Structure 1
Amino acid sequence: MSTFSSTTYPVLPAAAAASLGPTVVIAPHPDDESLGCGGLMALLRQAGQPVWCVLISDGTMSHPNSQKFAAPARQALREQELREALALLHVPAQALHCLNLPDGAVPLPDAPAGATAVQQLTVFLRQTQPATVLVPWRRDPHPDHRATHRLVQAALQHLSDPPRLLEYVVWAWERAEPADLPQTGEVQGWQLDISSVLPQKQAAIAAHRSQLAGSPIDDDPTGFTLAPSMLAHFAQPTELYLEAIS
């Protein structure tokens, strides 16, 4: 297993966030937005920039064996947690758009459900006209994250004036294989100083209670929770963003 290092990337001041303009954050699951981009989202809103969040999956597979929370209840709980997290980042409730694709089986663009998702994303991006779109790192080691990247790339191809595309890291911090890491000449990157809004980001992460120790979904011993070692990556005063070298 390899480590995804951010030390080689320059650190930009918090004020640089505003230059991204109106921004859409694409999250495969509820919590990815807060983990990967929570600081940037808070800084964008602080600067008066519009921020939208698109949730790709229904989030139901974190605790698939729970009887207390059947799949519809898990979906409702995780969406409620996401709305609370967004409110803490000062993103308005109406800025959330949910595609409700199956958690753990987000389709690729060449599947019928994937093609429909590409159409939905294209319409949403035409309506919102963002200057920047944030999407998980192309080889983030989770199939839903990789599929999400592919769906967004396919949607951008339908736009005559596509927005800037930035990639954020979630699972690659812990689970990257050598082939998952950026290759020479593939991307350029930078870190954003989020120290001024780090408490806000931490509060947004904490809103995703079902994914943390002491989860209210307590009847599935095989259920997922974020490990302390994983959470430590998102308690740092910077966030990393990568951008393809054209």
Structure 2
Amino acid sequence: MKSVSFSEASLPAQIWNSAPQLDNIPVINTQALVPAGARAVLIAPHPGDEVVTCGGLLQLLSNLGHPLQLISLTDGSASHPGSQQWSEKRLSVFRPQESVEALRRLGLPMHSLKWIRGGFTDNALVEREEQITHFIARYLRPGDVVFSTWCEDGNVDHDTVGRACAKAAASVGATYNDVPFWAWHWPARDGELIPWHRARKVRLDTWTVARKSHATHAYASQLDGEPAIGLAPSLPRSLLERIRLPYEIVLV
């Protein structure tokens, strides 16, 4: 079905590795997605979302000289509730450091990358959706091309930020694109819930994929769970396999 060689036989049938619609998604080139001279804005609910959703696209846009802006809404410090090893206090320091390292691994120009940190509370965004919408709108301008998590992704923070981004972009005359994250890991039988008519593939070469995978592994705190307290890894094996696909998919 797709030209990848890793051991999918051992993975559950999920949308990303089993949906027949994947083969028919039109390819879009970077120039058509983000016109020449336009600024690309990537809005991440949590640290790491920007790499997993658009780590390849960010590299392509950077190589073409597009101005980039990253908005990180939370510090991700609530990713391990109940953990003594990864307390909120430790994660509030550690996860931003992981993000810096991840972006360095992507090869982004840290000296010129505009990076806004929102300071919103992890896992509590839905109560502040209106405030988040206004916050995002302050940093957008007409002509921007904005990317963030799909508003039907199935994670409350992701869904909230997707809605807020769409409203903020519309209010200033920017273009908004959804990027599914967890939706790709729904059971294959739920494939019809994806709006395939909006889906477009951005092709990635081998080195771009390798840098994206390397960057994702900078999030060391998210790679291992804590079975003793019932915590699964925030970045499970199936996700680490998926990000090695030779494309990313956006909903335009």
Q: TM-score range by the shorter chain?
A: 0.7 to 0.9
Task: Check whether the contact 1:24–1:130 (CA below 8 A) recurs between aligned residues.
Answer: no
The Cα of 1:88 is off from its aligned counterpart by 2.2
The Cα of 1:32 is off from its aligned counterpart by 1.0
1:142 corresponds to 2:155 = yes
Letter matched to residue 200 of structure 1: R
SS state of the match for residue 231, structure 1?
helix
Letter matched to residue 151 of structure 2: R
The Cα of 1:3 is off from its aligned counterpart by 2.0
What does residue 195 of structure 2 align with?
Answer: 182
Task: Check whether the contact 2:165–2:176 (CA below 8 A) recurs between aligned residues.
Answer: no
Matches of 2:14 and 2:164, distance apart in 1: 26
The Cα of 1:102 is off from its aligned counterpart by 2.1
What does residue 131 of structure 2 align with?
Answer: 116
Matches of 1:55 and 1:201, distance apart in 2: 18
1:165 corresponds to 2:176 = yes
Matches of 2:243 and 2:168, distance apart in 1: 29
What does residue 100 of structure 2 align with?
Answer: 83
TM-score by length of 2: 0.80
Matches of 1:168 and 1:106, distance apart in 2: 18
SS state of the match for residue 60, structure 1?
coil
Task: Check whether the contact 2:95–2:221 (CA below 8 A) recurs between aligned residues.
Answer: yes
The Cα of 1:210 is off from its aligned counterpart by 1.0
Matches of 1:208 and 1:178, distance apart in 2: 29
1:103 corresponds to 2:122 = yes
SS state of the match for residue 190, structure 1?
strand
What does residue 24 of structure 2 align with?
Answer: 8
Task: Check whether the contact 2:34–2:145 (CA below 8 A) recurs between aligned residues.
Answer: no
SS state of the match for residue 67, structure 1?
coil
The Cα of 1:175 is off from its aligned counterpart by 2.3
Deviations 1:142-191 (A, max 9, x none): 111100011112222431xx2221111210111264674217xxx52211
- The equivalent position to 1:233 in structure 2, one of 208, 231, 242, is 242
The Cα of 1:115 is off from its aligned counterpart by 2.4
> In 2 relative to 1, CA 16–201 (structure 1 residues): closer, same or farther, beyond 3 Å?
farther
Matches of 1:36 and 1:164, distance apart in 2: 17
Identity of aligned residues (%): 26
Q: What is the root-mean-square deviation of aligned Cα atoms in Å?
A: 2.7
SS state of the match for residue 78, structure 2?
helix
Matches of 2:74 and 2:193, distance apart in 1: 22
The Cα of 1:227 is off from its aligned counterpart by 1.6
1:194 corresponds to 2:204 = yes
Task: Check whether the contact 2:30–2:61 (CA below 8 A) recurs between aligned residues.
Answer: no
> In 2 relative to 1, CA 15–200 (structure 1 residues): closer, same or farther, beyond 3 Å?
farther
Matches of 1:210 and 1:168, distance apart in 2: 23
Letter matched to residue 19 of structure 1: P
Matches of 1:158 and 1:47, distance apart in 2: 28
- The equivalent position to 2:110 in structure 1, one of 87, 92, 103, is 92
Task: Check whether the contact 1:18–1:47 (CA below 8 A) recurs between aligned residues.
Answer: no
- Runs of at least 5 residues in structure 1 that lack an aligned partner in the other structure: none
Q: Matched residue pairs, number? A: 230
The Cα of 1:17 is off from its aligned counterpart by 6.2
Letter matched to residue 158 of structure 2: H
Deviations 1:36-84 (A, max 9, x none): 1000001111111111111122312221122244312212211111111
What does residue 153 of structure 1 align with?
Answer: 166
Matches of 2:232 and 2:89, distance apart in 1: 16
What does residue 242 of structure 1 align with?
Answer: 251
Letter matched to residue 242 of structure 1: L
